[in-house]
Structure 1
Amino acid sequence: MKLSVVVPCYNELGTIGQVVEAVRRSPVQDLEIIIVDDCSTDGTRELLQSQIEPLVDQVIYHPKNRGKGAALRTGFAAATGDVVIVQDADLEYDPQEFPLLIEPILNDKADVVFGSRFMGGRPHRVVYFWHMVGNKFLTLLSNMLTNINLSDMETCYKAFRREVIQSIRIQENRFGFEPEITAKVAKAGCRIYEVGISYYGRTYKEGKKIGWKDGFRAIYCILKYNLVG
């Protein structure tokens, strides 16, 4: 089993090197690492070119900033593994947990696996209360329209059979990817599993990028991709 790890990256100079090393140290032996740099301006691109390119399978450079969804679209198209997983370029998620995420797929029980920060049993850093409330509200609204019972729709950690993710046309360019892909895998009748994961959330001072405007966009995406398509 080959695992493709797609890393969307924008202005992560302080963490991208550590993330690559963490992914390379994951328990999964057959890894394909694909980084998509979304036109970083803080020196990340230069670091990728000078030090990180030899350590990974591909680094793809966007000529202009287009957003996380656009970066994932590029990375998914380039993936060749049996399973594809999303890994953010910060240090909020732990690649040591890849086996947890891919196990239901390897056992032919799932086509898509979500890693939940809210299922319990795993450590997580205590950060923003209202972010948690917002995430739970968006997940509830999404569940009402998809008729699936996720606990964490907005999670980064999502694993897919490659043929599933490459068959889906992703339209969202920014953080709307999360509700869009959730709606589309539910509509496609994919077998969806959820597993508990640890989480080390960042503060805005530490580089967190998602904001309240993205929350309103997520509501729009939930309605659009579930009710319209």
Structure 2
Amino acid sequence: MKNTLSIIIPAYNEGKTIHLILDKLKAVTLIGDMQKQVIIVNDCSKDNTEEAIQHYISTNPDINIQYFKHEVNKGKGAALHTGIQKATGNYLIIQDADLEYDPEEYNLLLKPVLNGFADVVYGSRFMGGNPHRILFFWHTIGNKFLTFLSNMFTNLNLTDMETCYKLFNTQIIQSIPLKEKRFGFEPEVTAKISRVPNIRIYEVGISYYGRTYEEGKKIGWKDGFRAIYCILKYGLFKIK
């Protein structure tokens, strides 16, 4: 039986770009002849996200897409919780609905797993020689500070804790109780995954095609303070 990669897409007001990322997913050929399970969780979007998804599903029956919808807006973390619970693939990766990350690079993350070295692989925007859009100085400093702070309490040496691209062994991530419903998901899952006995965590360099706030970027300075709180809560104090 073939291995399957579950691709979790949290979507909020992404009606303009959701079909583009789905086209990219459809075109990707995974190593090891791996199959794809695409799980989209619409977090109560206010635009035409639902219509765009339903149209794509109806016109592309050859791609395995499962669609779920929150009746109230709960946050990105909550959408990821739903997607993780619904995943049935051997492995699971998180994919934002925008175009900041390139699905063609899934194989970079899959390689250490399929070669038997890793259980979890993070895609780092701050290592390797892949293309990176030049955007916000303070945003980059903030990301590196949050990663440094997280590493202090997890004893990991990650370069990009806040990255979207995180690939997990599905059984492992489904066994971890996750609570953060918004952007606190990243430090929480990193802290908790670091405490799994004998866990093997790898990191690979990826590209980054960042968006401006005018183009739809959503994370802001308040989310940075929440991340610090979560790093202390789940990293320093080890809250379960």
Q: TM-score normalised to the size of structure 2? A: 0.93
Q: What percent of counterpart residues are identical?
A: 60
> Could you tell me which amino acid in structure 1 is paired with residue 224 of structure 2?
G
Match status 1:110 vs 2:118: yes
**Superimposed CA distance per residue, residues 179-205 of structure 1 (whole angstroms, 9 cap, x where no aligned partner):** 000000101132100000000000000
SS in 2 for 1:148: coil
Partner of residue 76, structure 1: 84
Unaligned stretches of 5+ residues in structure 1:
none
Match status 1:49 vs 2:51: no
Q: How many residues align?
A: 229
Alignment of 1:95-134 (within 5 A): 95-134=103-142
**Superimposed CA distance per residue, residues 141-189 of structure 1 (whole angstroms, 9 cap, x where no aligned partner):** 0000000000000000000001011101110000100000000010113
SS in 2 for 1:6: strand
Of 187, 190, 204, 1:182 maps to 190
**Superimposed CA distance per residue, residues 75-130 of structure 1 (whole angstroms, 9 cap, x where no aligned partner):** 01111111100000000000000010111111111110000000031111111111
What is the rounded CA distance, in whole Å, between the counterparts of 2:238 and 2:166 in structure 1? 24
Of 170, 175, 182, 1:162 maps to 170
Partner of residue 213, structure 2: 204
Of 3, 28, 43, 1:26 maps to 28
SS in 1 for 2:52: helix
SS in 2 for 1:7: strand
Q: TM-score normalised to the size of structure 1? A: 0.97
Root-mean-square deviation (Å): 1.1
Match status 1:36 vs 2:41: yes
> Could you tell me which amino acid in structure 2 is paired with residue 100 of structure 1?
L
Of 18, 27, 51, 1:16 maps to 18
> Could you tell me which amino acid in structure 2 is paired with residue 197 of structure 1?
I
What is the rounded CA distance, in whole Å, between the counterparts of 2:108 and 2:5 in structure 1? 13
What is the rounded CA distance, in whole Å, between the counterparts of 1:225 and 1:130 in structure 2? 25
SS in 1 for 2:108: helix
What is the rounded CA distance, in whole Å, between the counterparts of 1:97 and 1:139 in structure 2? 22
Partner of residue 238, structure 2: 228
What is the rounded CA distance, in whole Å, between the counterparts of 1:126 and 1:120 in structure 2? 15
Displacement of 1:14 in angstroms is 1.1
Asked if the contact 2:211–2:217 (Cα under 8 Å) also holds between the matched residues in 1, the reply is yes
Partner of residue 213, structure 1: 222
Asked if the contact 1:27–1:98 (Cα under 8 Å) also holds between the matched residues in 2, the reply is no
What is the rounded CA distance, in whole Å, between the counterparts of 2:64 and 2:115 in structure 1? 28
> Could you tell me which amino acid in structure 1 is paired with residue 85 of structure 2?
A
Displacement of 1:47 in angstroms is 1.6
What is the rounded CA distance, in whole Å, between the counterparts of 1:211 and 1:20 in structure 2? 26
Asked if the contact 2:128–2:204 (Cα under 8 Å) also holds between the matched residues in 1, the reply is no
What is the rounded CA distance, in whole Å, between the counterparts of 1:228 and 1:81 in structure 2? 29
Displacement of 1:228 in angstroms is 3.2
